[in-house]
Amino acid sequence: MRVPSLAAAFGLLAGVVLGVPAAAQDFDRVGGIAVDVRPLQVYARGPQTELLRAVLTEAMQRSFGDRIVRGAPTLVVRVSGLSLAAYGGAQGGDRSSLGGSGTTDYLDGEAVLVGRGGEILARHPQLSALPASSGGAWYDPASERRRVAALAEHYAQWLRRRLPVQ
């Protein structure tokens, strides 16, 4: 009677140990990259959302291009928040803002590794923050576009650094 229960215990242990890589899948190889802005579109439709999707897709391709392998799981970035602070170009001199205006832009989301059958293999939430001045001169009409692009690039580069690999 001890042998079957011991075998069952080893089987359970093997299932747990062998199940870990699927649950904590490494992000070292991805089959493709997709950016999902649908959660953001619930409250923020318009050109900024589509711009973010386009520039974040490009940034992710640049950051993860060397990890793309045919047949590997798909890396999906689900964007849940984009916040561009009101920026008037003011440069405060207090220590708390390190000489900046103290306004910050944010990009919130998560990286999801999706298997071929649609199952979620791993998740990694991430929040990126940059000074609102990252888009250059506040009075330039292209400033907001540059701010969104800077956030997307920042998000993709930090995601590459933070995702676990073998």
pLDDT tens per residue, the chain (166 residues)? 444 443 444 343 333 333 333 334 567 889 999 999 999 888 877 788 999 999 999 999 999 999 999 999 999 999 999 998 886 655 554 444 444 446 899 999 999 999 999 999 999 999 999 999 888 888 888 999 999 999 999 999 999 998 877 6
85 occurs within a structural domain: yes
Q: Please tell me the pTM assigned to this model.
A: 0.75
9 occurs within a structural domain: no
Reduced to 3 states (helix: H, G, I; strand: E, B; else coil), residue 29 is coil
104 occurs within a structural domain: yes
Geometric angle at alpha carbon 44, from 120 and 113, rounded to 5°: 15
The predicted pLDDT at position 8 comes to 40
Q: Which residues does 165 contact at the CB level (< 8 Å), separation at least 6?
A: 26, 27, 28
In the structure encoding, which two tokens stand for residue 161, read together?
């650094």
77 occurs within a structural domain: yes
Is 41 buried (19+), middle (13-18) or exposed (0-12) by CB count in 10 A?
middle
5 occurs within a structural domain: no
CATH number for 38: 3.30.160
C-alpha R_g of the chain: 21
11 occurs within a structural domain: no
Amino acid at 49: T
No. of H helices and E strands in the chain?
A: 4, 4
Q: Which residues does 70 contact at the CB level (< 8 Å), separation at least 6?
A: 31
Q: How far is C-alpha 65 from the chain's CA centre?
A: 15
The predicted pLDDT at position 7 comes to 40
The predicted pLDDT at position 10 comes to 38
| Torsion sign across C-alpha atoms 34, 40, 45, 48 | negative
Number of domains in the chain: 1
136 occurs within a structural domain: yes
In angstroms, rounded to a whole number, what is the distance separating the alpha carbons of residues 36 and 38?
6
Range of 70's domain?
27-162
